[in-house]
Structure 1
Amino acid sequence: MGTYRLEELNASNIVAANSLTLKRGQEQFIAPPSYAISEAYVNPTTAWPRVVMDGETVVGFIRGNFDPDNASEELRSCLWRIHVAADYQGKGVGKFAVKALADEARSRGNKRLTVLWEKGVDGPEVFFHRVGFQDVGTTAYGENIGEILFT
């Protein structure tokens, strides 16, 4: 695993974040990071967009959401988006990003971190399980709900 660090998603790194090349088939499961920066302006108190840096290179992106009053419990402290450059997948970038988001959630007093995903070939389910999410149900739309509980 490299020496990674987080930076806020901003004007100087958004082009690199939007240019992350994923593995074939993964694009259908995600939206571009630029959506996250627009969401951050609409909901500045709940959005937590970050890029993962390896030196001066953007190698990943994660967006958390913290909305303690959300009517949907699974959206109160959740991983909203995660992208890791194809060449960096399997090198600890995603694990680093999820751990950082979980640390942020814990520091805000949350007892768990959730994630929603669609099942499918090339989907993120194996990754989410590998980094510690446990299945806890499905949404009304058929998306899986996973959680990491904090002790």
Structure 2
Amino acid sequence: MTTPVVTLREITAETVRTICDLEPHEAQKGFVAPNAVSIAQAHFNPAAVFRAIYADEEPVGFIMWRPEGDGANCFLWRFMIDRRHQGKGYGREAIALWLKGLPALGYRIARLSYLPGAAGPHGFYRAQGFEDTGEQRANGERVMELLL
């Protein structure tokens, strides 16, 4: 059995409902907005880029990012892998694929924020190489970054 190939694909009129139906485990829902909300927010932020995460031909998640600050930083705004597809390495592959493309776009640092909590993503992001900056936002989110 071959390992599925993970890709980041544009969301189309034909795929948007399927992507909006993807959701994390119940315990994770407080850590990431629903994909429908993220897609709506992206449409009102011209700098935002969002993609569906596929494993071969199956949609398994969602990723969204935007430039930050002077344009040398890229901010991972949203990231989620559907509850039925977690633990298969798709998240790790999707983040690696996203990070690999950033330097060609002029980014030198990838940043993100997360809400601390038992079912939160902190450990996952640390495993991908992100480090805590010590910065905490007013909404309680903590910031991590990775030099590219």
TM class by shorter-chain length?
Answer: 0.7 to 0.9
Q: List aligned pairs for 1:11-30, cutoff 5 A.
A: 11-30=13-32
Match of 1:148 in 2: 146
Alpha-carbon deviation of 1:68? 4.5
Secondary structure at the aligned position of 1:37 is classed as helix
Runs of 4+ with >6 A deviation? none
Identity fraction in percent: 29
In 2, the alpha carbon distance for the partners of 1:15 and 1:129 equals: 31
Alpha-carbon deviation of 1:105? 2.2
Going from structure 1 to structure 2, the CA distance change for 1:66 and 1:34 (only over 3 Å counts) comes to same
For the pair 1:63 / 2:64, whether they are aligned, the reply is yes
Q: Which amino acid aligns with 1:116?
A: S
In 2, the alpha carbon distance for the partners of 1:24 and 1:43 equals: 28
Match of 1:79 in 2: 76
RMSD: 1.9
Secondary structure at the aligned position of 2:99 is classed as helix
- What are the ranges of 5 or more consecutive residues in structure 2 without an aligned counterpart? none
In 2, the alpha carbon distance for the partners of 1:119 and 1:88 equals: 22
**Which whole-Å deviations, capped at 9, do the CAs of 1:71-91 have from their partners, x for residues lacking one?**
xx9xx4111111101122121
Tell me, yes or no, if the aligned pair for 2:23 and 2:34 is still in contact at 8 Å.
no
Going from structure 1 to structure 2, the CA distance change for 1:53 and 1:149 (only over 3 Å counts) comes to same
Going from structure 1 to structure 2, the CA distance change for 1:94 and 1:37 (only over 3 Å counts) comes to same
In 2, the alpha carbon distance for the partners of 1:118 and 1:33 equals: 17
TM-score (ref. length: structure 2):
0.87
Secondary structure at the aligned position of 1:25 is classed as helix
Q: Which amino acid aligns with 1:147?
A: E
In 1, the alpha carbon distance for the partners of 2:89 and 2:25 equals: 16
Tell me, yes or no, if the aligned pair for 1:21 and 1:86 is still in contact at 8 Å.
yes
Alpha-carbon deviation of 1:56? 2.6
TM-score (ref. length: structure 1):
0.85
Tell me the matched-pair count: 145
- What are the ranges of 5 or more consecutive residues in structure 1 without an aligned counterpart? none
